[in-house]
Structure 1
Amino acid sequence: MLDHQRRNAYDGFEQNMEAGKRLHEIAGWDKLIPESTPQYQLGSPVFRLSSMPVPEVRVWATAGFAGGIQPWWHHIGSSHEDRRQYRTAEPIFRWHDANQDVLVNREIRADVGVVWSQQNHDFFGRADAAEKTMAPYRCVIKALDRHAITSPCTPTASARHAIA
């Protein structure tokens, strides 16, 4: 089960797709990886009792689906005055169920590969790892995604079609 709930200041929705692909490369594409998808406001600061806008939840979830992640939701607390989040999951779950034939039990075949090494990050990056190793990695992933070049971090044509 994956607890990857938010974007950060550097990465967009594509990082959820990449997380799914990276985990599948380690565990195998035959494994299910349900993700705890948040439905509460994840700004700074976090407002866990306020609902996240539906389009943001939908884009985060579908980016994960493109990476082979399955839906799973939970709510913080037992009752909320802002009850909108209770209606968000059902249509997304129904969509995932209707499209499982292209979302589950598949393997992404890449045209190119992107290699990132923890050893390189630690040794070469040292005190400036964010700039020396993470920034180039993020830029390559975003460029490949933006130009629809299939890599371990971009969806296949069938996944793009299914999610569009």
Structure 2
Amino acid sequence: MSAETRWLTATEERAWRGLLRMSDLLVNRAGHSMQAGFGLSATDYTVLAELTRTPDGRLRIQELSRVLGWEKSRVSHHLARMVKRGLVAREECADDRRGAYVVVTAAGREAITAAAPRHVEDVRRFFLDHLTPGQITLLAEIADLIIERNAEDR
């Protein structure tokens, strides 16, 4: 660290705070919609979406943690709640006794299949419909860059 603090300019602070507020707002609005319509929290939906992106509907818990960018303890606690509700199941890893898989259940597949059309509608209504195609492309490029650069530090 240098001795000089590089304080944020007004525009930099506006961008940073705006990003945080926008993220919270979008997650909360979409989460309320998922909860009210399907009994799923925003984090339930996120976990189910990641699992159903894989061909066999399963991921190592460590890989799920990495993909989501969550601490292992957060993933473990959330998965425990989802297991109790029958949305996912835990399976031991045959080739690595320390590892485990999380697998989407039939109930979990039903839940995300029912919720996905509303989720897509919400993403469009709360987010995409307010942007031009060029802004969406630019935002996607910015997100990819920030994620890539910060993943290098892990």
Q: Same fold (TM over 0.5)?
A: no
Structure of higher RCO (CA pairs closer than 8 Å, 6+ residues apart): 1
Structure with higher helix content? 2
TM-score between the two structures when normalised by the length of structure 1: 0.29
TM-score between the two structures when normalised by the length of structure 2: 0.31
